Structure 1
Amino acid sequence: MARCLFIPEIQLSVFQWIFVLDASHERHVAQATLAALARTCSAFHHIALDILWQQFGTIARAIQCMPHDLWGGDAIKSESGCICLKLHRHLTKDDWNIFRRYALRIRHLSLATQDVRRGKKLMVDIDDELLACLASMDATQPLLPNLTSLEWIIYDERDLRLIRRIMTKSLTSLFLEVWAISPVPDLLQFISSIAPTCPSLRKLTVHSVALSSHLRNSVSQTLCHLHHLTTIHCGILDAEVLNHLSRLPSLLELKLALQPNAEFQNELLFEQLQVLDVHAQDIPSAVDLVSRMRNKLTNLSIFSDNHTGASVLAQLFRRLSTFVSHDSLRRLQIMVAERPPHDLFSVLKLEDLHPLLSFNRLTHVLLDTGCGISLDDVAALELAQAWPNIMQLVLNKFLESPLPSSISPIGLLCFLKHCPDLLELTLEIDFSFIEEQDDQSHYWVGDTTHQHLSIFDVTYSKIHDAAKVAAFLSGVLPRTVHVHYSWIHALDDQREYAERWNEASRLFMRMKR
């Protein structure tokens, strides 16, 4: 064997490429190759095992490396489809030494994936008693001393005892979900201990079903003692904590809920912040936060609970155009949860959207504003020309407007011609122009087809002739996989349009073939 292959740095570089070059979803080829290298050549053993366990190592696999008579899988699967590993006999020192040999190499641990509410599925689950036995061994040091990433769910006091044994100074990423229904006595103390226990923490996420004021205070105090954070996802933060975070030179991503009536005394720096996701009771308070930043945001998401009129939104757009860098912003999302009363329904017009057109590098725009967006074909052309790099455009996906759409298929073609990278489009279209034509050759379309659009959502577009609409769409959208609509079959006043769009979708897929 060439001498250079005995050098650990060269081995490390070559073996990492084994993982990179495996394009399969589960990385089975990379796992098999690294395992073979570790078994067949003593010179490769340690480096191959390190990479294998750093990428694929889990606490369940470390348990399964211990003698088979120690643990076993429960024959009855849980509702989430997991097989539960249970303790079959007493854990000995020899068992622990085997576990320890592999535990030293584990970098990532997720016991949050056992919770089906997060939409994940873990094939092997671990019984709490087995975890507790492991945690009771050698209490002088962490269970997984080189762990860098941890996801955990807290239901009760037992979960706290276990996570204390897993927390380590090497931890850089912590995802914590608090699902405790009844009070957990030491929870606040544990939250306060995160900073001294994990001083190198860079990513912190804290979710809770019911974030009490006491828990919020503990999270805020913890944030004030962490000085290397790059990513923060948490609940309500007050002005004082935001002032501290704004001075962190490392902070790149911040997701928070804004404290009601928060008052900011000074400018907030956030000079390196790139991603901001803010949930506020009202739009003006969120805009006040953004306008105080010296930022170069790439992603901005604003969620509001209260109904907001068109005039307030127009003011928001103007202030965003003033305070957010036009060159950096790539993704913009504005969502309003509360729908307006019918008699207070207001409408955004093209002139209201004009300030957003200055962000000419946008790739993703999602506006669900709680009020109508009145656009015609001229407006569609302006939007398409202003956002030539747009990949996702979603306008009022969940709002049925009392005003009929003024964008015709000609306006749709504007988007297709001027936005070649478009992957998803959500837009209400008036298809009457197509339905009234006797000639279905559509010569006026020319050779306009879009080769990338995958998802087209017509929201509450009205339809009368499913065949004509399907024929038109199949001609200009050959790559589109799905045509969605928002009409609901179960509602009497929407069933007619829902059935016609359902038929149009079936015809569309058949004509494409």
Structure 2
Amino acid sequence: MHRTLTIPDIVQLIFAEFRTTGSIPDDIHPPDLAALASLARTCTMFRDPALDLLWKYQDTTQNLIGCFPADLISETQHEQLIVANQESDAESDPSDAEDVEAEMGDIMSRNFNPFKFSVKTLHLLRPITNEDWTRPLLYSHRVKTLNLLRVGGLGAASAPVFFQICSSVPEEHVFPNLEECQISPTPIAQCIQFLISPRIRRIALYFTSVQGLDIVPTLAERCPLLTQATILVSNVSAVDSVSAFVRNLVRIKDLHVQNLDERAFEHLRHLPTLTALHLEDPVVPAEALVPIDQITSSSHSYSSLRFLHFGSTTVERVTAFINTIVNCPLEQLYIEDPDESVSTTADASRRLYSSLAARCTPSSLQEIKVGPGFRADTDLIADPVTGPTLRHLFCFQNLRAVYIDQPFGFDLTDVDIIDLASSWPRLELLSLSGTAHVPSRVTLHGLSVFARYCPALRCLQMSFDASIIPASNPSESRPTQTTLARIGVAHSAIRAPAAVAGFISKIFPNASVATWLDVEVEAEHMEYHIRWSEVNRLLWEFSRGRRFVMTFVCVIIITLCAE
């Protein structure tokens, strides 16, 4: 036996083999529960390690409830209806067959897809004693991760009984060693205080109402080791509760909330541990903005922030938040699933990019994603984004991925593309797309500059004009880039598929072309789609021919060497 390994270490290694293969964490694919249960019954040496792994992850309260004496709790079960994609209350509990039939008829008329799941209702048969907790506590101490997000389980009628059970625990917490939990509080909102523990490092609570919100302001004191927290509430009145929670955080590294008040934002600005921040729809108070003339090389806010993510919001609100940042070493900026009711104009984009350039460390930013979701309003006419607007981002020379979905499109030239490619030499992914079909002024010559300046580029998506093939210059060697694998051409103009395929194949020999059609497409764009499909076919033929030649040459060389 290796001298650094003890018997318990070896046992743990044996049990590790019962986990599912691959790198997927246990909370997605738990270990082989049947095998672990058998091991726990085999011998004393195996019992505790097997039970530890068996109870480490729990996604239901039923296992714990099943440990109580049979004469304490009884259960009844009924089916409950849930309607997918319904914006109102997702769950319904029809009291009789007529209600079910009426609701089903309403559902089918709107093409929703209902399904049923089983819900259990608990009934307490007698008062709970400390002796009743002997067996449950034997196992609850082993729980490290609790995930109560899935549909089903306890119904609303069980909430009072479950509260009585949790509040009767002889110890301070039901799961005293819990380190991670994800809970959608309804219908157990009043029980959260008993379920969480001071050992928790990661917590996620998803509230569909204000019920249970009273615990949120005290979470930081109850869980002093928190490093990752998600608190999402569908009610806008929760800002005060969530802000009070945030103001007491001292170790947090990753935070996901919807909105905060001024004092909470101020606390986060000076928190040295915060590295990732997710905001759904922040309304930044004017008092929190830092004027540009007050920024110095020694001033900082969000000094450790690396990842910044925005959901359902507008570019204007994102810009307002960026204006509270000072010399931030931001690496990733994602603006996803934005508010579709507000269109993003070129001027709004210019203000956002300008603020980023002024507020973030130029050498740190590596990824920018804006959209999809900002969709052009058909009644609104606005200018596309031009080269001068994008130039605000050219200072970030370590960018590896740029994805910008601009509703009114882009109006760029070959000169703009040359400056872009030379400014972002580490680029691996570039996508400049939009809803509006703006005729592109970028030619195939502009496309070719990526081969010269961006050797790591793997995926390119943008519109360009492939109507004219650049004349070849014998005195000038044309660069070749073998990394690019995909070119998304959108609605790029094209006349001669064979000539275009030959041009692209010489510069990007491993690239393929991706083209697609909108639901409503003009006849001209349909013709472009057909021609680009032919280009893609020819590129595949060229690639196959090169592979054949390389294989033939290798065979000849091997044969000659053998002789």
Normalising to structure 2: TM-score of the pair?
0.68
Residue 147 of structure 1 corresponds to 178
Matched, 1:276 2:308: yes
Counterpart-to-counterpart distance in 2, 1:380 and 1:37: 64
Counterpart-to-counterpart distance in 2, 1:91 and 1:5: 49
Q: 2:141 aligns with which of 104, 127, 146?
A: 104
Matched, 1:263 2:287: yes
What does 1:208-223 correspond to in 2, within 5 Å? 208-209=233-234, 211-212=235-236, 214-223=237-246
* Cα deviation 1:198-218 (Å, max 9, x = unaligned): 333222222334x32x31122
Q: Is the 8 A contact 1:277 1:301 kept in 2?
A: yes
Cα distance, 1:433 vs structure 2 = 3.5
Residue 167 of structure 1 corresponds to 196
Cα distance, 1:333 vs structure 2 = 2.9
Residue 231 of structure 2 corresponds to 206
Q: Is the 8 A contact 1:299 1:332 kept in 2?
A: yes
Residue 440 of structure 1 corresponds to none
Counterpart-to-counterpart distance in 1, 2:513 and 2:193: 47
Share of identical aligned residues, percent? 22
Residue 331 of structure 1 corresponds to 367
Counterpart-to-counterpart distance in 2, 1:422 and 1:131: 55
Matched, 1:300 2:333: yes
Q: Is the 8 A contact 1:268 1:293 kept in 2?
A: yes
Uncovered stretches (5+) of structure 1, i.e. residues with no partner: 115-124, 438-443
* Cα deviation 1:224-279 (Å, max 9, x = unaligned): 12222222211222332211121222111122233265222767622112122357
Residue 99 of structure 2 corresponds to none
Q: 1:177 aligns with which of 180, 198, 206?
A: 206
Residue 120 of structure 1 corresponds to none
Letter in 1 for 2:52: D
What does 1:50-449 correspond to in 2, within 5 Å? 50-51=52-53, 53-54=55-56, 56-59=57-60, 62=63, 84=118, 86=120, 99-114=136-151, 125-128=152-155, 136-137=164-165, 139=167, 140=169, 141-155=172-186, 158-180=187-209, 184=210, 186-209=211-234, 211-212=235-236, 214-256=237-279, 257-259=281-283, 262-264=286-288, 269-278=301-310, 281=314, 283=316, 286=319, 289-290=322-323, 292-301=325-334, 307=343, 309-310=345-346, 313-314=349-350, 316-335=352-371, 337=374, 339=376, 344-395=381-432, 397-402=433-438, 404-416=439-451, 418-433=453-468, 448=480
RMSD value, Cα = 4.8
- In structure 2, the CA distance between the partners of 1:412 and 1:445, relative to structure 1 (3 Å rule), is farther
Select between 419-428 and 487-496 the one with higher mean Cα deviation: 487-496
Q: Is the 8 A contact 1:62 1:99 kept in 2?
A: no
Question: Which structure is larger by alpha-carbon Rg, 1 or 2?
Answer: 2
Counterpart-to-counterpart distance in 1, 2:464 and 2:361: 32
Counterpart-to-counterpart distance in 1, 2:513 and 2:136: 49
Cα distance, 1:147 vs structure 2 = 2.1
Q: Is the 8 A contact 2:58 2:147 kept in 1?
A: no
Cα distance, 1:348 vs structure 2 = 3.6
Counterpart-to-counterpart distance in 2, 1:159 and 1:88: 13
Counterpart-to-counterpart distance in 1, 2:513 and 2:46: 49
Counterpart-to-counterpart distance in 1, 2:448 and 2:115: 46
SS of equivalent to 1:59? coil
Cα distance, 1:355 vs structure 2 = 3.5
SS of equivalent to 1:205? strand
Aligned length: 482
Letter in 2 for 1:483: A
Normalising to structure 1: TM-score of the pair?
0.73
- In structure 2, the CA distance between the partners of 1:221 and 1:236, relative to structure 1 (3 Å rule), is same
- In structure 2, the CA distance between the partners of 1:170 and 1:242, relative to structure 1 (3 Å rule), is same
Q: Is the 8 A contact 1:462 1:497 kept in 2?
A: no
Counterpart-to-counterpart distance in 1, 2:532 and 2:60: 47
SS of equivalent to 1:412? helix
Counterpart-to-counterpart distance in 1, 2:456 and 2:509: 15
Q: Is the 8 A contact 1:154 1:176 kept in 2?
A: yes
- In structure 2, the CA distance between the partners of 1:417 and 1:239, relative to structure 1 (3 Å rule), is same
* Cα deviation 1:350-403 (Å, max 9, x = unaligned): 3443342221211221223444433334433432333232232221x333243x
Counterpart-to-counterpart distance in 2, 1:465 and 1:77: 57
